[in-house]
């Protein structure tokens, strides 16, 4: 039979509690006792069972991730980065996904139940006071992806700057009537992209026509991040203007909305990029195949870095809070006159 901690305790002449302290690295054991216990354990060929060892240490070797709208390509890429980093460790990933952002609190409550995981990643979920309190009470280390709270480690993208770059690209190409297609107005990242849109106009000495801004307020279930929302928003934008006076360019606050906008524009008889130029935001994989000019955010890298932060905090709980902000890159493709770039 394999050796047990009872055998070690008998051989070393100590209690089972002392053996447990030694094997778990507890400093409250004398050097002589530690050396004697470890020698007996080695002589007996003792190998602790992983699950029992984790239970004794109150570690599960699990990292939880709370993710809204699991079917979104953005979240799939973020989770790919999380798993890539965890593959090099002995941690496993447990995902709590909700169908909509409105239902994320239920998944968050499940994820923070004591003992379910060693640490928690929260993706694209605004940290309200109530959610911050839930996280504090859990006692778990937390890292945020695509969200921010001053007291929690976070990895985000500068959405406002990205909105400025997207709009400035269209302004530099001679456009002045530039539409903006927004998800629902409550979407934090898209709201900051809208601020960037307005910044670009202000820096160019131009005013924004409010009629050029359309929010997909009818699609609260998915917060407007769908092809259909983009399709409907583009239709609504075109209906606001007489034939021949429509916008000559559109900035869609998410690639998936841009795909719907492209279809609506072509159904209306508009040539892209001849009659209308389109810019998106994200650079999800289909964007290259659609020839979509977009702002690229490093989704997988965001997931990897947030996971690295979380594991570091598990090892050193008292290190300073860290916030990393990526700057998105403009990728010019066919929808604004560039070449089709497949990478």
Residue 305's pLDDT is: 97
Instruction: Count CB atoms within 10 A of the CB of residue 59.
Output: 14
Owner of token pair 């069972």: 49
Q: Determine the pLDDT at residue 41.
A: 83
The per-residue pLDDT for range 214-246, each reduced to its tens digit, is 998 765 555 568 899 999 999 999 999 987 889
Fold of 62-157+299-327: Rossmann fold (3.40.50)
> Which pLDDT belongs to residue 56?
46
Give the Å distances, CA to CA, from 85 to 80, 88, 125, 313: 9, 6, 21, 15
- For 191-205, the pLDDT digits (tens) are 999 999 999 999 999
- Token pair for 342: 């497949």
Per-residue model confidence (pLDDT) at position 258:
97
Where in the chain is CATH 3.40.50.2300? Answer: 62-157+299-327, 159-297+330-336
**What does the CA dihedral 195, 133, 139, 121 come to, rounded to 10 degrees?**
-30
Decide if 143 contacts 152 (C-beta within 8 A). yes
Query: How does 104-118 read in b/e, with b if 16+ C-beta sit within 10 Å?
Result: bbebbeebbeeebbb
Handedness of CA 127, 133, 134, 137 (dihedral sign): positive
CB 229 within 8 A of CB 183: yes
CATH 1.10.260.40 residue spans of the chain: 5-56
Distance CA 198, CA 333 (A): 23
Q: Which two tokens stand for residue 314?
A: 């598990």
Domain 159-297+330-336, CATH class in plain words: alpha beta
CB-count exposure of residue 276 (10 Å: 0-12, 13-18, 19+): buried
Distance, in Å, from the CA atom of 321 to the CA atom of 153, rounded to the nearest integer, reads: 5
Ordered mean pLDDT values, 10 residues apiece, the chain (343 residues): 79 82 70 84 72 53 84 85 92 85 80 81 89 85 94 96 98 97 80 96 96 80 76 95 90 96 96 96 94 96 96 91 96 88 51
Dihedral angle, C-alpha 79, 257, 157, 276, nearest 10 °: 140
Output the pLDDT for position 310: 95
pTM of the model: 0.77
Beta strand pairing call for 277-282 and 249-252: parallel
**What CATH number was assigned to the domain covering residues 5-56?**
1.10.260.40
> What is residue 230's predicted lDDT score, i.e. its pLDDT?
94
Q: In this predicted structure, what is the pLDDT of residue 57?
A: 47
């Amino acid at each position: 039979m394999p050796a047990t901690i009872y055998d070690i305790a008998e051989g070393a002449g100590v209690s089972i509690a002392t053996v447990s302290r030694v094997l778990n690295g507890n400093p409250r054991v004398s050097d002589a006792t530690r050396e004697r216990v470890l020698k007996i354990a080695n002589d007996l060929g003792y190998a602790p069972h992983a699950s029992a060892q984790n239970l004794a240490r109150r570690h599960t070797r699990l990292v939880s991730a709370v993710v809204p709208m699991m079917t979104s390509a953005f979240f799939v890429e973020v989770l790919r980065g999380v798993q890539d980093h965890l593959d090099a460790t002995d941690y496993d990933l447990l995902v709590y996904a909700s169908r909509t952002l409105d239902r994320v609190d239920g998944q968050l409550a499940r994820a923070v139940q004591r003992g379910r995981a060693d640490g928690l990643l929260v993706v694209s979920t605004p940290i309200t006071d109530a959610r911050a309190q839930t996280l504090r009470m859990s006692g778990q280390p937390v890292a945020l992806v695509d969200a921010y709270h001053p007291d929690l480690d976070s990895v985000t993208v500068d959405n406002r700057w990205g909105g400025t770059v997207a709009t400035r690209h269209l302004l530099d190409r001679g456009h002045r009537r530039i539409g903006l297609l927004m998800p629902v107005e409550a979407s934090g990242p898209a709201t900051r992209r809208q601020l960037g849109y307005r910044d670009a106009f202000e820096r160019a000495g131009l005013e924004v026509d409010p009629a050029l801004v359309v929010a997909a307020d009818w699609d609260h279930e998915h917060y407007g991040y769908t092809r259909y929302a983009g399709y409907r928003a583009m239709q609504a934008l075109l209906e606001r203007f007489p034939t021949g006076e429509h916008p000559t360019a559109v900035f869609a606050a998410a690639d998936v909305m841009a795909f719907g906008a492209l279809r609506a524009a072509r159904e209306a008889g508009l040539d892209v990029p001849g009659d209308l130029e389109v810019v998106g935001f994200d650079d999800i994989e289909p964007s290259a195949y659609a020839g979509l000019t977009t702002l690229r955010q490093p989704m997988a890298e965001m997931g990897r870095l947030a996971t690295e932060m979380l594991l570091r905090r598990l090892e050193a709980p008292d290190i300073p809070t860290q916030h990393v902000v990526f700057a998105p890159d403009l990728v010019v493709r066919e929808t604004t006159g560039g070449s089709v770039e497949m990478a």
